[in-house]
Amino acid sequence: MANVVVVGSQWGDEGKGKIVDWLSERADIVVRFQGGHNAGHTLVISGVSYKLSLLPSGVVRPGKLAVIGNGVVIDPHALLAEIDRLAAQGVSVTTDNLRIAENAPLILSIHRELDALREDAASNSGSRIGTTRRGIGPAYEDKVGRRAVRAMDLANLETLPAKVDRLLTHHNALRRGLGQPEIAHAAVMDELRRVAARIVPFLEPVWRLLDERKRAGARILFEGAQGTMLDIDHGTYPYVTSSNTVAGQAAAGSGIGPSSVGYVLGITKAYTTRVGEGPFPTEQANEIGEFLGTRGHEFGTVTGRKRRCGWFDAVLVRQAVAINGINGIALTKLDVLDGLDEIRVCTGYRLDGREIDYLPASQGQQARVEPVYASLDGWQGSTVGARSWADLPAQAVKYVRLVEELIGAPVALLSTSPEREDTILVHDPFQD
C-alpha cells in the first residue's frame, strides 16, 4: 500500500478536508505537514459539521492517529481551543490519538500583533498582502531566523528566559520602528506557562514515530493546507502564504524520507477561487462569480472571508500537476456548476500579445496575463449526491474528461457534495 500526500492544486479551499477524511478510513496515520491555523477544513459527517484548522482531519475518526509535523507553526491557544470545541461535539482528543512534533515552532501573541500591525501599515500604502493576521508569517520568520520558541521548550521552563530574551530583542526593535510599546519579558513567560502543562504531554520526536510505524506497515496520509499557488516559492509571490505548500514539503515537514511517498493526490475544484489579494486571471467579478460563490458557499472556514470566484483555470492546475508530481486529482464541487447554460475553461494565457501555457513568476506579468477560454455546453440535470458515473449527466462527464485532458492527470476521485459518502471512486490512491 502506498503512502499518500494530499495537496491543493489551486489557491486553497478546494475541499481537502472532506477528501482527507474520506481517505483517512484507509489510512492508519494522518499527518499535517505545513501551515498554521490560517487555513481550515470543514468536515460534514452524518449531517454534523466539524471545523478544523490545526488538527489533522483524521482526528474525528476513531482508531486513527493524528500527527502535527515539524513543518507546522502552532498557536497553542488556538490548538487548545480547537481541542475543546471538538470535545463539546463529542470528539475526544487525547495523547492516544494526537501527537505533536516536539520541534514545531510556536506562534505567540507577539506574532499575531506584529502580523496585524504590518497589514495595517501596508493597507495605508496600498501594498496589503491579505494575511489572516494570525501570526503565521512572523512565526516562520523567527523559525528561519533561529530565534523561535519551539514546542519542546515548554517542557523545560528553566531554559525559556534566555530564549524569550533573544526573541524579544528582535521583536521589540520591530515594534519600536512601528511606533508601538515594547513587550515585557514577564508577559511572554506568563503566556508560555499557561499552556505548557496541556501541550507537553502530546510532544514526541515525530520523525521517529513515523519511521517506526512505516516499518511496521502503517499506511500514512499526509495532509497539506492552502494550495500550490500559495506556495512561498512556486505561488503568486508576494501574495502567498509563508510556507511551502507543495508535495515535497510532506517529507521535510514531517521528518520522513521522500521515497516514503507513493502517491500524490491533487485536490481540484471544478471552478477556481482564491481569498485575499493577488492575481486571479479567470476571476469573474460579475453575476457568474456571484452564482459560483453563492451556490458553492464560498466563505473561508477559519476567517469567514468571502472568496473570489471564477472559471476553471487549466493552466494553473497543469502547472501544479508538474510541480507536485500529481498522480491523480480529486475533483470537487462539480455540483456547483449544475444548471449553467455555458461553462468556460481557461486553456492558456495571452501575455503582451503572445500566447503562453504557464503562469509566469513575475508579479508584473502575472497581473497582465489574460485568459484564453474554451466554451462548452452546461448540463441541466443534477450531479448532487452522485455516487457512480452512471448518475452523472452526459455533459458533466464530458466536462470532467476535458479537465483531465487539459491538466494531464486523471480523476481519481469525484466529489458531488460535502457529505463523506457522496464520492465516486475511480482509483484508490492507497493501492500500489
Number of C-beta neighbours around residue 365 at 10 A: 15
Q: Answer yes or no: are the C-beta atoms of 224 and 249 closer than 8 Å.
A: yes
Q: How many helices (H) and strands (E) does the chain have?
A: 12, 18
* Paired residues of 345 in beta bridges: 312, 374
> Taking Cα atoms as reference points, which of 149, 135, 128 lies closest to residue 54?
135
Distance CA 229, CA 227 (A): 6
Q: Answer yes or no: are the C-beta atoms of 268 and 415 closer than 8 Å.
A: no
- Residue where the block lists cell 513568476: 361
- 129-146 in b/e form (b: 16+ CB < 10 A) is bebbbbbbbbbbbbbeee
Q: Answer yes or no: are the C-beta atoms of 426 and 410 closer than 8 Å.
A: yes
Catalytic residue among 21, 28, 37, 41: 41
170 flagged as catalytic: no
DSSP at 105: B
CB-facing half-sphere around the CA of 223: CA atoms within 13 A: 32
Number of C-beta neighbours around residue 393 at 10 A: 16
Q: Residue 16: what are its φ and ψ, rounded to 5°?
A: -65, -35
41 flagged as catalytic: yes
Distance CA 99, CA 200 (A): 10
Active site residues: 13, 41
